[in-house]
Amino acid sequence: MSEQDDEPRHAASPTDYVLTELQLYGYRPFADEPDPRPLPDGNRMASAIADIFDALIVTLEDTRLEPDLPGLLWSTVNVFHRAADRIERELDDNEQAQRRSQREQDGSEVKSVDLERLTAEGQTLIEHRNAFEQMRDQAAELYERHTGSAWRPRSGSMVNHKAMTSAMIDSRDFVAARKRAAQEVLLPPGPKIVVTGGLDFNDHRLIWATLDQVRAKHPDMVLMHGKSPKGAEKIASCWADHRKVPQIGFAPDWTKHAKAAPFKRNDAILEVLPIGAIVFPGTGIQDNLADKAKQLGIPVFDFRSRRGSA
């Protein structure tokens, strides 16, 4: 019997496992590791998307499937749009995880490393989202070129965050910057003025005259309101349409917040930090917004003493 026969069988070491994996599959980043590989080259990416469109068009044109071509091209753009949406949802989960990790920080290395990992993961997700949005926009341009119609998603918004990406220093800066970036994409530039009023207040002369005075002082103003179907806020919305003033409607989310929806909506409006609030007669909802605005140091122009309608 040789000495090799006497040697007991050893279990494979962790190092042996890693080396075997590398030999068989190459490097594969795991879920808890940042991926060091670069993003696709922009020019090659654009060329590949153009090739996809050309292949579909050349193949289906002058055939019985040509009537289905616009739908297929729309779906091609939508593939990239849905990928960007999926990553945006992952970013939401990552942000919540970062907030939890921030609260759990106790000075230990384990907690600190976990927060650093989540921050790096969030930065990677932003890069992925921006890449897919760029691909979607390039595909949308090709769709419009070939069909003559602008591409629009069936539901939701078509937002490009590419210009909002910036270097993040730590987790708190990452979360705050992402929140600011999302607001800057969706909110038009200019000083924000919020108008609130009850459903039964219809003094359109007062509302229009007041808003004209504000606009004279702030020509680039943006009107914010609660998106009520009638009353003071509806009149203010009509004023903005007529004066070509950008406006943002904050509708209450009754499904999510039930009876608290109007008050949660007030919080969302004030998070934008308007430079002033115009409060016309209404209910406790208007009182709530006025009180919270004053607490934040936002000037309140109060017309609640005027009751009735014109």
Residue 185 included in any domain: no
In this prediction, residues 124-146 reach a mean pLDDT of: 90
CA distance 251 to 264: 10
Say yes or no: 232 and 126 in one domain: no
184: pLDDT confidence band, cut at 50, 70 and 90? low
Say yes or no: 60 and 158 in one domain: yes
Whether 116 has a pLDDT exceeding 90, the answer reads no
Say yes or no: 21 and 128 in one domain: yes
Q: Which two tokens stand for residue 54?
A: 């050309």
In this prediction, residues 230-245 reach a mean pLDDT of: 92
Model pTM score: 0.50
Boundary (domain end) residue, out of 143, 174, 205: 174
Percent of the chain with pLDDT over 70: 78
Out of 17-21, 153-157, 253-257, pick the least confident.
17-21
34-40, long-range: CB < 8 A, 24+ apart: 34/120, 34/121, 34/124, 35/124, 39/127, 39/128, 39/131, 40/131
pLDDT at position 286: 94
Say yes or no: 37 and 85 in one domain: yes
What is the number of other CB atoms lying within 10 angstroms of the CB of residue 241?
11
Residue 181 included in any domain: no
Out of 84-88, 156-160, 216-220, 236-240, pick the least confident.
156-160
Say yes or no: 18 and 143 in one domain: yes
Query: What's the Rg (C-alpha) of the chain?
Result: 28
pLDDT at position 149: 84
77: pLDDT confidence band, cut at 50, 70 and 90? very high
Residue 183 included in any domain: no
298: pLDDT confidence band, cut at 50, 70 and 90? very high
Give the bridge partners for 276, in sequence order: 193
Burial environment of residue 289 by CB neighbours within 10 A (0 to 12, 13 to 18, 19 or more): buried
pLDDT at position 157: 67
Among 289, 228, 287, 237, which Cα is nearest to 264's?
Answer: 289
Phi then psi for 189, rounded to 5 degrees? -70, 155
In this prediction, residues 227-242 reach a mean pLDDT of: 91
pLDDT at position 206: 95
Say yes or no: 142 and 239 in one domain: no
Say yes or no: 61 and 152 in one domain: yes
Say yes or no: 162 and 23 in one domain: yes
Domain that holds residue 132: 14-174
pLDDT, one tens digit per residue, over 212-231 is 999 999 999 999 999 898 99
Say yes or no: 162 and 292 in one domain: no
Say yes or no: 68 and 128 in one domain: yes
Each residue of 172-208: b (16+ CB within 10 Å) or e?
Answer: eebbebbeebeeeeeeeeeebbbbbbbeebbbbebbb
Alpha carbon separation from 74 to 41, 79, 92, 283 (Å, rounded): 24, 9, 27, 47
pLDDT at position 267: 92
pLDDT at position 72: 94
Say yes or no: 95 and 46 in one domain: yes
Residue 307 included in any domain: no
In this prediction, residues 2-20 reach a mean pLDDT of: 64
Give the bridge partners for 194, in sequence order: 224, 277
Phi then psi for 219, rounded to 5 degrees? -60, -25
pLDDT at position 310: 38
